[in-house]
């Protein structure tokens, strides 16, 4: 039996610390090593015992989460999961923390209803367990500039045997989770201004995807934005599914567009990669290219299988370049991946498949 994942909770709110302790303690794979009201107290605890994972508040008195994260990563790298509120400022700061080495972002527990609390529990525990398995990598130099497991059936019907009639336009669908913020940056930064339209699912809480999209838009040649219901999928643009909503690819004549909808967690996530990939199989078929990137779990594997069966080209990120080799590995094991590539080579292959 594996040792439990030891977690240190760092947050200046006693209510949040207690809530996180209750949530994480409910998972038999996790053990609370302790909690701290600020980074100074946390540093003392870390000297006595090094945790497997730290959950870290973004905004705290005496020392903010970003500064403490930088100290951790420079002195003794430990997987860190940023814990943030829904505030826009907090979202932008938490995303900045990802650039400094944080593994993931979680939203502070939602206590207003039993359903929301249970969904928070699932996503928070999964984020911590993924972080415990993550490869902590050096940050590259930036250019300036237990609920029931549901399938995609809960959101979109299975694809028909024959996809819709081909158009001349290709569309790219991408799914990522833990480590995906950096992987998507590398992928999107490489693409030319006239790249085929892209639709993306990155497992991320609501509101964070808007700030994430803005940051990518500032550094990429293509336009990157958080998707809105009915947005067209156009050349030279990437649409990122909003947190806490499913995103589907649809088609009307020769026009691809996205549908944003609510629904249950699918593969323990909302948005779900399986939901996006299944819609691509149904409405794009051989016109689509599917890419599955770093992340824990199996979200996207079954959807990619349906894409493969519908004639789509399929690509997975390789183990060496993944922060967590979970989602790509599950797709590979299903036999639905055409090519397994290092992150740095994925954009080139996607463009090649789109021009074939």
The CATH H-level (homologous superfamily) assignment of domain 153-355 is Methylesterase CheB, C-terminal domain (3.40.50.180)
Let me know if 25 is a catalytic residue.
no
Give domain limits for the chain. Answer: 5-133, 153-355
Considering 27, 91, 104, 203, which one is annotated as catalytic? 203
Q: Are 331 and 337 in contact (CB under 8 A)?
A: yes
What is the DSSP code (8-state) at residue 76? S
Segment 109-130 mean pLDDT: 81
pLDDT in tens, 146-182: 444 566 665 656 665 444 444 458 999 999 999 999 9
Over residues 24-79, the pLDDT tens digits come to 999 999 999 999 999 999 999 999 999 999 999 988 888 888 899 999 998 889 99
Q: Is 76 a catalytic residue?
A: no
Q: Which of 299, 312, 318, 321 is catalytic?
A: 299
Q: Kindly give the residue spans of alpha helices, DSSP state H, lying in the chain.
A: 14-25, 39-48, 65-75, 88-99, 114-133, 180-190, 208-219, 273-283, 301-309, 327-333, 343-355
Do 208 and 236 contact (CB within 8 A), yes or no?
no
Is 19 an active-site residue?
A: no
Question: Domain 5-133 is of which CATH architecture?
Answer: 3-Layer(aba) Sandwich (3.40)
The predicted-structure confidence for 342-353, as pLDDT tens digits, reads as follows 999 999 999 999
Between 301-309 and 273-283, two packed helices, what is the crossing angle to 10 degrees? 10
pTM of the model: 0.85
Catalytic annotation, pick one of 35, 84, 85, 177? 177
């Amino acid at each position: 039996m594996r040792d439990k994942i030891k977690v240190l909770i760092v947050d200046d709110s006693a209510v949040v610390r207690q809530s996180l302790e209750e949530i994480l303690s409910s998972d038999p794979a996790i053990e609370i090593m302790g909690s701290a009201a600020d980074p100074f107290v946390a540093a003392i605890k870390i000297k006595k015992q090094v945790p497997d994972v730290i959950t870290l508040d973004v905004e705290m008195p005496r020392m903010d989460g970003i500064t403490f994260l930088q100290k951790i990563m420079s002195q003794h790298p430990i997987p860190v999961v940023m814990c943030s509120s829904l505030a826009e400022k907090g979202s932008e700061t938490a995303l900045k923390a990802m650039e400094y080495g944080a593994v993931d972002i979680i939203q502070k527990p939602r206590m207003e209803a039993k359903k929301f609390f249970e969904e928070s529990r699932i996503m928070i525990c999964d984020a911590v367990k993924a972080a415990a398995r993550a490869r902590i990598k050096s940050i590259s130099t930036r250019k300036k500039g237990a609920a029931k497991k549901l399938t995609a059936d809960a959101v979109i019907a299975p694809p028909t045997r024959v996809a819709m009639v081909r158009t001349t336009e290709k569309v790219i669908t991408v799914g990522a989770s833990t480590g995906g913020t950096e992987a998507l940056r590398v992928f999107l930064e490489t693409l030319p201004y006239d790249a085929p339209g892209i639709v993306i699912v990155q497992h991320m809480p609501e509101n964070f995807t808007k700030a994430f999209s803005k940051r990518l838009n500032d550094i990429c040649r293509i336009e990157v934005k958080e998707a809105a219901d009915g947005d067209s999928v156009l050349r030279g643009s990437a649409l990122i599914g909003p947190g806490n909503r499913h995103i589907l690819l649809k088609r009307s004549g020769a026009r691809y567009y996205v549908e944003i909808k609510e629904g249950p967690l699918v593969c323990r996530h909302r948005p779900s990669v399986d939901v996006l990939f299944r819609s691509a199989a149904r409405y794009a078929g051989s016109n689509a290219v599917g890419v599955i990137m770093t992340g824990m779990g199996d979200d996207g594997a079954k959807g990619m299988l349906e894409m493969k069966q519908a004639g789509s080209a399929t690509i997975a990120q390789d183990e060496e370049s993944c922060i967590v080799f979970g989602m790509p590995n599950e797709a590979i094991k299903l036999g639905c991946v055409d090519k397994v590539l290092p992150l740095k080579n994925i954009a080139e292959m996607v463009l090649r498949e789109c021009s074939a």
